[in-house]
Amino acid sequence: MARPSRAAFVTLLASALSFGLVGGAGAVPTVVQAAPAVLTPATAEGVAPTAAGVQKALAAVLADPSLGKHRGVYVYDVSRDKVVFSTGTATPYTPASTLKLLTTVSALATLGPEHRFTTQVVSAGKGSIVLVGGGDPLLTAKPAKSGGYPTRATLAALAASTAKALKAQGLTSVSLGFDASLFTGPAGNAKWESNYLPEGIAARTSALWVDEGRLSSGMAKRADSPAAAAAVAFSKLLVANGIKVVAAPAPKTAPAGAEALAKVLSPTVGQIVEYVNLHSDNDGAEVLLRHVGLATKNGGSYAGGVTGLEETLTKLGLDVSKAQIFDGSGLTRTNKVPLELLAGAVRMAASKDHPELRHLLTGLPIAGFSGSLEERFGAGSAGAGTGLVRAKTGTLTGVHSLAGMVRTRSGTVLAFAVASDSVPVPKTLDARAALDRAAAALANCGC
């Protein structure tokens, strides 16, 4: 079957697989209906996939020894709202970063896709101000030279607005405090490997940081106190805007009901979810987990976030009874999640009953094009999935997983999860390629 051009698949990103995924959804925006068709909207018409057909399509992949002993796949027909095929699903898997699907769908469900986080400066008395963190995971010091998506809030803009407000009051000299009390509990997860924080693999999660606590770009050392580092950066920006800061910034709780001098707003939660899943952003996922905890009144710690996540998934109709979840990013190997639950997050986001969850789908990496799938699906039979597979990746040593969605040749939307957490290290690349072939087989299935 001839495939549309690469450019056509980019159009697919914003149209056929973003909305109207389920026949009869009734919520397809006019702009999508009017767009040039790349793939027609999915319906429940035509030949339905069968368990035997899917099993045959996946047989060769599932027999691949590179996947180790504990491998499995779960496939759900979103168009017809039923399980099609599953094997190896009796026990849960270490999900690695596919766990972010659960964190981000919970954030969308509890906060709403249009919610924004506020970083602000408040007055704390004559000549005293406090920089207050609102848990913006993407807050940065200065605008990126190349732009980028989504557009981030910056300390530079906040400092300029703050300086203007202070000068309007006749103030050109202040003391600066900083407040990161929105989040509570340990900044690092007790289940993470001991080298994650010191080596900058993960940040110390904070309600106030810039550039996720990085002291320089890339995978580099993070600040021991991201909030203090953000305050120092803000102090320098104030000075650049003509405001003298009389002493080093110090921790200070903002007075209740304090007047806001200036503020900046984060991207929407929907945009942040897209970013976190596209780039597999561990730090952003951990911030969202704490917001879920706050939104569900379980507190702003990672433990409260996990409790809130489990409550939220249960309210969505997903079974968490066999899952063991300890963080929001999937960094810890102690997480154990059924494949049904991973695919369940995707099918909920595609459901006509939950349009507020659609950003989970629009942020999924596209095979061969974007995010963590940009360099995959380029060889052999996996190449047939290029542009057709949208999935979140999961990778730890010995652990590989994919969870997402495809649209089959017959027009059926399938949510799927495929994983192994017993991959021999020498077979890492072979196992990853096997999962790609499995997803490609589903996309090209006439089964």
Point out the residues that are catalytic. 97, 100, 280
- Reference 117, options 254, 266, 230; nearest CA is 266
Identify the residue whose tokens are 């290029």. 386
CB contact at 8 A, 228 and 177? no
Residue 380's region, left for phi above 0, alpha for psi from -120 to 50, else beta, is left
Structure tokens at 218: 């890339």
The alpha carbons of the chain give a radius of gyration, in whole angstroms, of 23
- C-alpha to C-alpha distance for 421 and 387, rounded to whole angstroms: 26
CA–CA distance, 426 with 72 (Å, rounded to integer): 20
Q: Is the peptide bond before 267 cis (omega within 30 degrees of 0)?
A: no
Phi-psi group of 2: left, alpha or beta (phi > 0 → left; psi -120 to 50 → alpha; rest → beta): beta
Find all residues with CB under 8 Å of 111, minimum gap 6, and list them.
269, 291, 292, 295
The residue assigned the tokens 């495939």 is: 3
What whole-number distance in Å separates Cα of residue 39 and Cα of residue 210?
Answer: 41
| 180 contacts: CB under 8 Å, gap ≥ 6 | 133, 206, 207, 208, 226, 227, 251
What are the start-end ranges of the H helices in 149-255? Answer: 155-168, 226-240
Contact 89, 75 (CB under 8 A): no
Strands 413-420 and 82-87 turn out to be unpaired
CA angle 148, 113, 337 (to 5 degrees): 95
| Helix locations, 208-297, DSSP H | 226-240, 269-279, 282-295
Beta bridge partners of 185: none
Q: Amino acid identity of 408?
A: T
- CA-nearest of 319, 148, 177 to 238 is 177
Count CB-CB contacts under 10 A for residue 69.
11
